[in-house]
Structure 1
Amino acid sequence: MGQAHDVLERARAARLEGRYEDALRDHLWFHENALAVEPGLAGVRLSFALRDWIYLAEQFPLARRALQGLRDRDTARMLTGGESRDLFRDIVAINSALGEERATQDLFVRLDIQSPELAVQCADFALPALVAAEDFMLARRYLGDPAARVQALAANLNAYTGELVKTGGTSSAPALLSFVLNYAKEVRLVVEVLRRQDEEELAEQVSRMALDELKSDALRDAVEREFETPGVTIKAMVAHARANVTEH
């Protein structure tokens, strides 16, 4: 493991030992410098690292204020000429970790007015926050062609599943379940936007297409179960993880 990964582990250890200022110092360094040192940590930086930061904030309120400060700084950059899709993704991830999706919606509304071309590039990241804020009119405007969107999502899921079949890998089951979960979430988002805009017929068409476009019966069944009982896929992921622990 590299330097950045070590810093994140050190932050975790410091939190568990009650050395909260040290943990915050390492979280700040990791967020600002990790990608320059280890570009492969891009996903970790906006997921596990932020999750750990929020754990720290629950015990050390200064950590929450520090994270909000980073968000506010990056938001100002977005609105004063430093616009980029990557920077918007950072802001969205921080707002999601903080439970402040309304801040994402507020920023996107301003981008829609100030930089509409960039808003198009950032729309995918903004859509969940727009739905959470019930700004369905703006969400629908940036949703594009719902059928084409679902077809593209299904194609990605089919391709990933096809690769698993070729390699015969069973260890990738958690990743596949994660893909299924994300696919179902994306489709539900599209359907909700359409229904809230009184496009019921198109919503029904997209819902059927989301299943019909899947090539594997097993995959179709898994997605349909998640549609019918949201959360069942997470339970399957937890069960798989526990089984692996038991086996080892």
Structure 2
Amino acid sequence: MSQAHEILERARNARLAGKYEDALRDHLWFHEHALAEDPSLAGIRLSFALRDWIYLAEQFPLARRALQAIRDRDTQRILNGGATLGLFQDISAINSALGDDRSTHELFTQLDTQLPELARDCADLALPALVAVEDFALARRYLPDPVARITALATRVNDFAEEMAKRGNTSSAPQLLAFVLNYAKEVRLVVEVLRRLGEDEEAFKASNAALEALKSDALRDAVQREFDKPGSTIAAMVAHAKAEGSADKQ
């Protein structure tokens, strides 16, 4: 385990022990320095680490203000010329954790006006916030070919499933389920934009493409289940984790 990972664990333990200032100090360090030590923590930094930070903020309001300050600092960096896709990703992830999609929308509208090339690069990341605040017209401008977008997303799922099959490693199953979950979420966003703008025929084409672009029946079934019953993929992930835990104990 890397030092950065240990510090994140230390932050969690400090929070559970009621040592909130220590926990915040470790969260700040992890967010600012973890990737320099271990780039593989990129996903954890913007998911589990932010989730734990929000848990801390529920008990220690200063933690929320600290996270907002990082978001505001990075927003100014973008608007002052330090614009990067990675920085926008950080900001949108923080806003999502804070339940503040409107701030992501406001930043994206500024990029749309001032830095259109960066806005194009960031559009996929901004889409959930645009839908959340119901700016469907702006979202549609960055979905010139919804079916092509869905097909590109399906290719990633197909590629990962094929690689997993070649390895024959069932330990990758949770990752595949995560791909399925994210894919279904992305498709729902695209379809919602089209439907809310009255483009029912395009929405129908996009929905069909979402299944037709998947290469295996198993993938199509998993995605269809998630469409029919949102949350079923998470339930499958939990069941797999419990099964793995039981196997380890035997």
TM-score band, normalised by shorter chain = over 0.9
- Structure 2 counterpart of 1:15, one-letter code: R
2:226 equivalent in structure 1: 226
1:210 equivalent in structure 2: 210
C-alpha distance in structure 2 between counterparts of 1:44 and 1:218, whole Å? 28
Kindly tell me the number of residue pairs found equivalent between the two proteins. 248
Q: 1:15-69: per-residue Cα shift (whole Å, max 9, x none)?
A: 1111100110111111111111222211111111111111111110110010001
Once the 2 structures are TM-superposed, how far is the Cα of residue 197 of structure 1 from its aligned partner? 1.3
Once the 2 structures are TM-superposed, how far is the Cα of residue 78 of structure 1 from its aligned partner? 1.0
2:73 equivalent in structure 1: 73
Once the 2 structures are TM-superposed, how far is the Cα of residue 213 of structure 1 from its aligned partner? 1.3
Structure 1: state its 5+ residue gaps.
none
* 1:49-128 paired onto structure 2 within 5 Å: 49-128=49-128
Once the 2 structures are TM-superposed, how far is the Cα of residue 246 of structure 1 from its aligned partner? 2.4
- Structure 2 counterpart of 1:24, one-letter code: L
Once the 2 structures are TM-superposed, how far is the Cα of residue 244 of structure 1 from its aligned partner? 1.9
1:141 aligns with 2:120: no
C-alpha distance in structure 1 between counterparts of 2:50 and 2:154, whole Å? 29
- Structure 2 counterpart of 1:23, one-letter code: A
1:242 aligns with 2:235: no
Once the 2 structures are TM-superposed, how far is the Cα of residue 239 of structure 1 from its aligned partner? 1.3
Q: 1:205-236: per-residue Cα shift (whole Å, max 9, x none)?
A: 11011111111111111111111111111111
C-alpha distance in structure 1 between counterparts of 2:11 and 2:166, whole Å? 40
C-alpha distance in structure 1 between counterparts of 2:218 and 2:73, whole Å? 46
Percent identity over the alignment? 70
* 1:2-21 paired onto structure 2 within 5 Å: 2-21=2-21
Q: 1:95-153: per-residue Cα shift (whole Å, max 9, x none)?
A: 01111111100110111111111100111110000000100000000123111111111
Residue 134 of structure 1 aligns to a residue whose secondary structure is: coil
1:46 aligns with 2:46: yes
Give the aligned CA root-mean-square deviation in angstroms. 1.0
1:169 aligns with 2:169: yes
- Structure 2 counterpart of 1:126, one-letter code: A
Structure 2: state its 5+ residue gaps.
none
2:156 equivalent in structure 1: 156
- Compute the TM-score of the two structures, normalised by the length of structure 1: 0.97
C-alpha distance in structure 2 between counterparts of 1:228 and 1:105, whole Å? 29
1:24 equivalent in structure 2: 24
